[in-house]
Structure formats: structure tokens, C-alpha cells
Chains A and B, each alone.
Chain A
Amino acid sequence: MSHAPTSGEPLVHVDNVEKVFHRGSEEIHVLSNLNLRVPAGEFLALMGPSGSGKSTLLNLIGGLDRPTRGTVTVAGDRLDQLSDRQLAAWRARHIGFVFQLYNLMPVLTAERNVELPLLLTPLTKAERRQHVATALAMVGLSHRATHYPRTLSGGEQQRVGIARGIVTDPTLLLCDEPTGDLDRKAGDEILNLLQALNREHGKTIVMVTHDPHASARAARTVHLDKGQLSNGEVK
């Protein structure tokens, strides 16, 4: 079913993708004839105005939605050929998500939140604990492991979100406006962290943002407008 991309082959292929939503009898064309390649190890920023289809494209790449037409291939897997159950397993293995509003479980501590993706693996309790500790250390929050989200600042919550996103060592990290709800200082800390994950650990990151300050941290920025992609500049 899948094969890992070989050296030089893009990790993400988006080919002639269209996405149409139906609202009653009305058709809304969100993405039109979209093509995108993301090489392994790249930090890509997706920019565009509100309603341009950025989050929709991110959802397609992350296997959270299916294109109306076209194909999405990530890590050698054709996502349109996977069933819902297969897609769930695929996401658990390949994708780490970082959300704008952190999306932590309020009833779980920081370490339990980070552990969530690991519950879907065959790791033992001790192994899971080890992975969680490593992830929290990478984001600098080991000392807050037993704290609940309500006692963490926005920046700290987002770092927990990033730890959750990387704890399974996913193939691809997808970030949807990760600094959108943070002040400049906290936002910079998050962007520093994402850059470090990319440069030092080779993480492939696709980040949706409307903030030029955030997109400046990426190696390449592509612009989405009215469902169409313009070629991005490489830094």
C-alpha cells in the first residue's frame, strides 16, 4: 500500500486537488486545481487571507478530510484510497497536529495530554512514560508535567500541544495557526521551538499562518488565495 519516499522525492504530493463543500443546494469551491510538493525535512508556511482554504488544505494533507477531486499522497500513501479506519491508523503513525487553540483535554494533566497519541501504540506504560518525559523535556516543560491546562499559560499550553504532536515521532507535523492565540513573546517561543524541531531534528513541518512574522521563520512560504496556490519563495 505504501512506500517511504526515497531521497529527493517529496514527502507530500498534492495533485490537481479540488475541494467543494455543499451548503444546502449551494456549492462552495474552496480549493481548485491545486498542486503542491513538500520535500522531506522542509519547513513550509501556508499563507493566505481568511477563507482562502488554508485549513482545508491542511486537513487534506493530514487525512482529516478527502478531496472532491485529485489525489493527496503523503509518505508514499494515497490518502484517498484509505478507509476511515485506515486513515485513523495512518494519522496516528504519520501525523502530529498542533492547533491554534491548543485543544488540550482539560481533564488531563500535561503529561497525560502528551501521552494521548501513545495510547494508540503497543508501547508499555513505562515506555510511554519515557517518551512523554522526552517530549516534555524537548519543549522545556518537564517541571509542569503534572499540571492541568487551566493552570498553564497560553504559551505553555501550546508547548504541551507541540509535545503531544511530536511524541510519536511523526513523519509530518501540521500546525494550524500555532501562534494565533498568543502574544508576540509567547509566539516567538513557539516559533523558536518549531524551527529547532525542523533544523535540529529534521522534522517536516507545514504551518498555516496569516502572520508574516511567523511565516518568516519557515524555509518556504506559499500563498493561497481563492483556492489557488501561487509559487512560494524559498529562503
Chain B
Amino acid sequence: MKFFHLVWGNLKRRKLRTSLTLLSILVAFVLFGFLCAIKQALVGGVALAGADRLIVRHKVSIIQLLPETYQARMEKIPGVAAVAHQTWFGGIYQDPKNFFMQCPVVPEQFMAMFPEFILPPDQMKAWLATRTGAIVGRKTAERFHWKIGDKVPIMSPIWLRKTWEFDIVGIFDGAKKGTDTTSMFFRYDYFDEARKAQNWGTGQVGWYTIKVQDPAQAAAVAQRIDEEFANSPAETKTEPEGAFAQGFANQVGNIALIVAGILGAVFFTILLVTGSTMSQAVRERIGELGVLKAIGFTNGQVLGLVLAESCLLTVLGGGLGLAFAWVLTSRGDPTGGMLPLFFFPLPDLLLGLGLSVLLGIVTGILPAQQAMRLRVSDALRRM
């Protein structure tokens, strides 16, 4: 710390050059934070997926429906602890841009299957007592300023092409950070009765979620389920919930690889910019470095001073960039519902800080070694 004023003073020597370099590092780390949040939004569901849950969907495509009658057969399969179904509603609230997921479910089965959704008991009771009742996640409730008791009209272009009316009877929260609280769930009986009246896909559901008794037996249970419905009109594909979530992300592409590629290009550019700044800074100060050595600074201390300067520059820029990214991503999903799990994960923030230090070391090491190897008498001549 006693050398701090020397390091800090050298950074302030060329204010414009330092500011521009700092700004480029800051922008790079803001981008880092945003890309981490996007990656989290697209693949975060994979990490949060239950280890004891399987998804059963139509073998051909997720948009193909499965018979409701499959549930009773699945419940009899050895290793299956519980079954619940959901169906994609695809509704629109006021404007197609106001995207969030809605699904009809059987309330008790659904809430038992997904304990990460926290609903107060009185609201659960109200849901069971209200046929048109719906529960909504807190993020969406806050987004549209919904409160319990509100009547919400949602138009479904898929189901009957009409506007459905729901009564908000509950607002649920997530048990842990990253739990999606953007969705809305309403009663399956209300949904199916309306379909029956129009003879429109009644008795069909989108997918099933299976809770297995022993996660170690998940693969075996999945196989049994698919064998049960093999050679039927609606064959199934059963996979762990995490793999199912990964499948959605993979539709966009290999997210992790895309993000790594973008960040790699950005950081390589920053490395060149910062490295150039540090090389110039050392070249300009060869005489002064010679004076320090003449006074008694060792080669190691001179190396340390230059490295400290480059690390201070990158940590300052990186830290500010990460802070900006944290603030900007804390405002939530910028797409209006397409990325419900949009946040900057703490492990990635810490990784970013580590990268900023590493950037300082990598960009500073060559100039620092150059400074270290200076012959004092030669350096003093260049003063």
C-alpha cells in the first residue's frame, strides 16, 4: 500500500490515454455481465432442474399432445412417485410483446410436483375453490401490477381463439434465486371443459412431469415409461428435466460456445489495447525506472510496480464494468418475457473479477519484464 501513490500517480500521468483504456475495459466487462445473464436465462433452467424429475413429451415433437389417460398408466410404472401434466396455453395479455408462460394444471398435483413454487395456504385454498382461478408468479404480477382479486383477460390464438377470463387468486414466489416466477397457472378442469364444449382437443395435454422415487433409477424409469407407450399413436420421449431445458436452449445454438466465442474476441481485443497502453507507459518512463533502481528498488520491486499499475487499471475498469452490468441486469428481463431467468449470477461476477486481475497480469507482464531487465546506467542516460 505504501507504493500506491506511485502506482496511482503513474496511471494519472496520461489522463486521456488511461481514461480511454479504462472505458474500453469497462465496456468489455459490461458486455461480459450481459452475456452471462443471457446465458443464465437460456441455460439456467438446466441447473435448476430437479434431479428427481423427468419430462415426458410426444416423441415426434413437444407441440404434439399426449392423451390425458396416460397419467393413470404412468402412475402404475415402478419407480414413479408422482405425475403432473401441463399444456402450453400461448395466451396474449393485451399485446403480444407482453410474453409470459401460461399453463392449465391440476393444482394439488402441480404444486406437489414443484415445491420450489411457494404459495400461501390460504391462496391455495382459494385456488381450489375458484374454477376460473389462476396463480401468477410475483415477477409477472409486479410487471402488470396485478393483485389478488383482479380479473385478467387473456386471448389464446391456440385454444378456441377466444379471450379467456381468469381470477387472480394467488401470487407465488420462488424458493431460491433463479426460480422462474414469470409464469401463470390456472385450473385444468376450467380449460378442458371449455375445450369439450367446442370439441377442441379435449382430453389432451402438452407434457407430463414425473417425480421418480430414486434419482439414481431415473434412467431406468424413463426407459420403462417409453416402453409402456411404444408402438402407440402417441409414442413418448422421456428425459431428465435438465436435458429437456437444455434442448430448448440448444434450439438457439450452443449458448455456452457462442458466449465464449464473443467474449474471447472481446477480451483478446482488450488485451491488445491494454497491452499497448502499458508498453507505451513503460517506454516513456525508462529514465524514471532507472532512477528507482538507482535509489535501491530491486528488479522484483520494479516488476511489481509495473504489474500493479496494469492490474489496477484492469481491475478498476473491470470492476466498474461488472458493477454497471449488475445494476443493468438487476432490472430484469429486457425482452419483455422471453428471458424469465435473466440475472447476473454471483459466480460469474466473481469470475469476472478474477478475469480482470488475470487481464492485468497478462497485459503487464511483458512491459514489467522489460522494466525489470533495464540496466540502470543505460536507463539513466535516457532521462
Q: Which residues of A does B touch, CB under 8 Å?
A: 56, 59, 62, 64-65, 84-85, 88-93, 95, 97, 99, 101, 103, 105-108, 112, 116-117, 119-120, 125, 164
Contacts and interface: CB of A to CB of B under 8 A. Distances in A.
B295 A116 contact: yes
Nearest to A123: B2
A92 B295 contact: yes
Nearest to B292: A116
A99 B291 contact: yes
Interface stretch (B56-64, B207-215, B218-226, B375-383): B375-383
Label chain B's interface by main secondary structure: helix
Given A99-B291, A103-B288, A88 B297 contact: yes
Contacts of B300: 85
Contact of A106 (B13, B293, B380): B13
Label chain A's interface by main secondary structure: helix
A84 B294 CA distance: 11
B298 A85 contact: yes
Contact of A120 (B9, B287, B295): B295
29 contacts: A56-B377, A59-B376, A64-B376, A65-B375, A85-B298, A88-B296, A89-B296, A93-B296, A95-B296, A99-B380, A99-B383, A101-B383, A103-B288, A103-B380, A105-B9, A105-B288, A106-B13, A107-B6, A107-B12, A107-B13, A108-B5, A112-B5, A112-B6, A116-B6, A119-B3, A120-B295, A120-B301, A125-B2, A164-B295
Contacts of A93: 296
B296 A105 contact: no
B156 interface: no
A117 B296 contact: yes
A119 B305 CA distance: 13
Given A65-B377, A85-B299, 9 more contacts: A62-B294, A88-B293, A91-B295, A91-B296, A103-B291, A108-B9, A112-B9, A116-B6, A117-B296
Given A65-B377, A99-B383, A119-B2, A107 B10 contact: yes
Contacts of B296: 88-93, 95, 117, 120
Contact of A89 (B298, B376, B377): B298
Contacts of A65: 375-377
The 3 closest A-B pairs by CB, nearest first: A92-B296, A107-B9, A88-B298
Interface in B332-383: 375-377, 380, 383
B2 to A, nearest CB: 5
Nearest to A97: B294
B58 to A, nearest CB: 70
Nearest to B7: A107
Contacts of A101: 383
Interface in B1-35: 2-3, 5-6, 9-10, 12-13
Contact of A103 (B5, B13, B383): B383
The contact size tier of chain B is: 20 to 34
Contacts of A59: 376-377
Interface in B249-293: 287-288, 291-293
Interface of B: 2-3, 5-6, 9-10, 12-13, 287-288, 291-301, 375-377, 380, 383
A97 B9 contact: no
A173 to B, nearest CB: 13
Nearest to B375: A65
A99 B3 CA distance: 23
A52 to B, nearest CB: 16
* A84, A91, A107 — most chain B CB neighbours (10 Å): A107
Contacts of B377: 56, 59, 64-65
B73 to A, nearest CB: 79
B383 to A, nearest CB: 5
A85 B297 CA distance: 9
A56 B378 CA distance: 11
Contacts of A88: 293, 296-299
Contacts of B383: 99, 101, 103
Nearest to B11: A107
Nearest to A105: B288
B290 to A, nearest CB: 8
A62 B291 CA distance: 12
B1 to A, nearest CB: 10
Contacts of A97: 291, 294-295
Contacts of A84: 298-299
Contacts of A95: 296
Contacts of B380: 64, 99, 103
A153 to B, nearest CB: 19
Nearest to B300: A85
Contacts of A164: 295
B274 to A, nearest CB: 20
B297 to A, nearest CB: 7
Nearest to B291: A103
Contacts of A125: 2
Contacts of B6: 105, 107-108, 112, 116, 119
Contacts of A103: 287-288, 291, 380, 383
Nearest to A88: B298
B367 to A, nearest CB: 17
* A88, A93, A116 — most chain B CB neighbours (10 Å): A88
* B3, B12, B301, B376 — most chain A CB neighbours (10 Å): B376
B161 to A, nearest CB: 72
A120 B300 CA distance: 13
Contacts of A106: 13
A154 B291 CA distance: 18
* B10, B288, B293, B377 — most chain A CB neighbours (10 Å): B377
